[in-house]
Amino acid sequence: MPKRVDHEERRTQIAEALIQVAGRRGLHAVGMRDVAAEAGVSLRLVQYYFETKEKLLFYGLQHLTDRFTARVGARLAAVGPDPGPRATIEALLLASLPTDPESRTFHLLYSSYSILSATDGALAAQPFIDNPDAAENALTGLIEGAQAAGLADPGADARTEAISLLAMTATMGTSILVAQRTPESANAVLRHHLDRIFTASGHTAPDAGQRKDANICP
């Protein structure tokens, strides 16, 4: 009896190969033949599942996003069952900084995807991500919730702070990649701004799930 093929597992295997080889060589330099060799399958099989390089890239982006979501979830689980708004934001932001091989690959490839989506016609014809404002909306909601609970500066504009934190993290991630800044200094900058936002009556107000040292280290 022929072996039953798990097609989703095979797609994931190929997407993982794309991430691995692109993490070493850069997304722009990767072809379907390279991915096939990395996955240990034939080029024909890669073409069977994805037809074009653009379709493979979009599936790879989704796989990369799923890995990032799992990484954030693991960080939150390590904090405890009720991490609170500050610790949740900290876990989200620190997970995206390139401080270890996995997060370095994530930052490098996610940045490459965004650049390619702006310059490649086939990629530009489709949205880069399904919900580009998801992270911004999530951070805004967390800050607003903290304000309502008396854990954050009531005078701060939650959306502006969310946008600033995300932009700052992305920029510092690039500075880590090019060795301009160390992960430790980037973490310190982020926590400085979180200390500024998460205050009550002018004093830092750690939420219930936040550890005393706020040390969610990569």
Q: Walk along the chain (218 residues) and give the pLDDT tens digit of each residue.
A: 455 668 899 999 999 999 999 988 888 888 999 999 999 999 999 999 999 888 898 888 888 888 888 888 888 888 788 888 999 999 889 888 898 888 888 888 888 888 877 777 776 666 656 666 888 999 999 999 999 999 999 999 999 999 999 999 999 999 998 999 999 999 999 999 999 999 854 344 444 444 434 333 33
The pLDDT of residue 212:
39
The pLDDT of residue 217:
37
Chain length of the chain: 218
Query: Between the CA of residue 103 and those of 23, 89, 93, 189, what are the distances in Å?
Result: 10, 17, 11, 18
Instruction: Supply the DSSP symbol for 29.
Output: G
The pLDDT of residue 112:
83
Q: Express each pLDDT in 154-168 by its tens digit.
A: 999 999 999 999 999
Query: Could you give the CA distance from residue 185 to residue 103 in angstroms, rounded to a whole number?
Result: 17
